[in-house]
Amino acid sequence: MRYAFKGKEVTKFILIISFSIFITSCGEKAPDKIADDNIEVVNNQQVQGRGEGKDNWWDNLPRAHWDNFEKVEQDQDWFEVYKITEDIYAIYEMGQFEEAICYLILGSERALLFDTGIGVGAIKKLVSNLTDLPVSVLNSHTHYDHVGGNHYFDTIYGTSTEYTANHTMGRPNNEVREFVGPGWVWKPMPNGVTVNNYYSKPFTITNFINDGDKIDLGDRVLEVFLVPGHTPDALVVMDRAGRLMFTGDTFYPASLYAHMGDANFDDYVKSAERLATMSKDVDILLPAHNEPWVSSDYLQAMYDGFLAIQKPGTQYNIADGDREYRFDGFTIMVSDPPPW
Ligand SMILES: [Zn+2]
């Protein structure tokens, strides 16, 4: 099953677009007010530890990359929905700093929702308007911006790690309130959500998932691979027949977080090496942030990047006290001093 858009010329086109967008995110011009008059920040001190591009993240919006896809009309302003292929929808939260992307992947009998966003929008209602198929959830990992809508769903796949188990208990307001505060959000929040009442609701893992497990959606089999590093429970999903890989936060075209407290650098390098060997099996990556369709060439580039940064003399910037190493279309963030 190969998609109409396939072929190097399109991915090259998408690569050029994403590179030019990456360049502009480094604060080359003063940010314009996007929407809400109350939120105009020149140097975004509210968002910390998220790389150089965080200061003027709204400058990138809207990202031209999404013009390649059919926008689906729906009644929730918080979300933007795009038809990526005949049987894949991207659900995009571009009103909040993370610009999280969830994917609704359709088979002939079942559907899988890969991630559920930060949890301010009614994602189950949204999904039920997109398909009549029964929907299960799998998270690329359990950071707050990927599990927020889990609580709406009855069938949730997850790893058996202690890390995942801890996050099934939800996160209270004091742990997540900043993520919907000034500098993080520019769109009005729906459903009466405010910085004072926002929290991440508990959920229950109903099916444990292990490395190499398959999820059969009916005429479509997805393979799950555990790739710890960004977090202990990071995973990717491969649609081998479609030559697609849903990469979560392990790879996306921006700052890769190998510096956070729950990241493990050595694991990330091992996972990057493993993914580089898989790049021959996929053509397109569907990441969990910013843009939904990038070249699988990034898998090798990411591994090469992780090797390059460990070499003495490799250039880096300091962003909010962390090291940021820049590559073509992405950066790698590590702590300073580095974990090697
Ligand atoms: Zn994450």
What is the per-residue DSSP string for 142-201?
A: -SHHHHTTGGG-S-EEE---HHHHHHTT-B-HHHHGGGGSTTTB-SPPSTT--TTT--BP
Report how far ligand 1's centroid is from the alpha carbon of 146 (Å): 7
Report how far ligand 1's centroid is from the alpha carbon of 28 (Å): 26
Cα–Cα distance for residue pair 287/293, rounded to 1 Å: 7
| CB distance 293 to 304 below 8 Å | no
Report how far ligand 1's centroid is from the alpha carbon of 108 (Å): 30
Report how far ligand 1's centroid is from the alpha carbon of 326 (Å): 19
Report how far ligand 1's centroid is from the alpha carbon of 219 (Å): 30
Q: Which residues contact 125 (CB under 8 A, 6 or more apart)?
A: 76
Residue ranges near ligand 1 (ion) with Cβ within 5 Å: 143, 249
| CB distance 331 to 51 below 8 Å | yes
Q: Residue 76's closest CA among 128, 6, 4?
A: 128
pTM: 0.88
Provide the residue ranges of all domains of the chain, joining segments of one domain with +. Answer: 10-334
Q: Is 193 left (phi over 0), alpha (psi -120 to 50) or beta?
A: beta
> What pairing do the DSSP bridges indicate for beta strands 221-226 and 156-158?
unpaired
**Biggest alpha carbon–alpha carbon distance for the chain:** 55
Q: CA 87 → CA 3, 120, 131, 217, distances in Å?
A: 11, 25, 10, 11
pLDDT value for 43 = 62
Per-residue pLDDT of the chain (340 residues; tens, 9 = 90+): 333 334 444 444 444 444 444 444 444 444 444 444 444 445 677 888 888 778 778 888 999 999 999 999 999 999 999 999 999 999 999 999 999 999 999 999 999 999 999 999 999 999 999 999 999 999 999 999 999 999 999 999 999 999 999 999 999 999 999 999 989 999 999 989 999 999 999 999 999 999 999 999 999 999 999 999 999 999 999 999 999 999 999 999 999 999 999 999 999 999 999 999 999 999 999 999 999 999 999 999 999 999 999 999 999 999 989 999 999 999 999 999 999 9
Q: Which class is domain 10-334?
A: alpha beta
Encoded tokens for 334: 């590590």
Cα–Cα distance for residue pair 271/186, rounded to 1 Å: 34
Strand residue runs (E) in the chain = 70-72, 80-85, 88-92, 101-106, 111-114, 135-138, 156-158, 207-208, 214-216, 221-226, 235-239, 244-248, 255-257, 284-287, 294-295, 317-319, 322-327, 330-334
Beta bridge partners of 79: none
Report how far ligand 1's centroid is from the alpha carbon of 105 (Å): 20
| CB distance 249 to 302 below 8 Å | no
Report how far ligand 1's centroid is from the alpha carbon of 13 (Å): 27
Cα–Cα distance for residue pair 133/106, rounded to 1 Å: 8
Report how far ligand 1's centroid is from the alpha carbon of 70 (Å): 27
Tokens 């990034």, residue located: 298
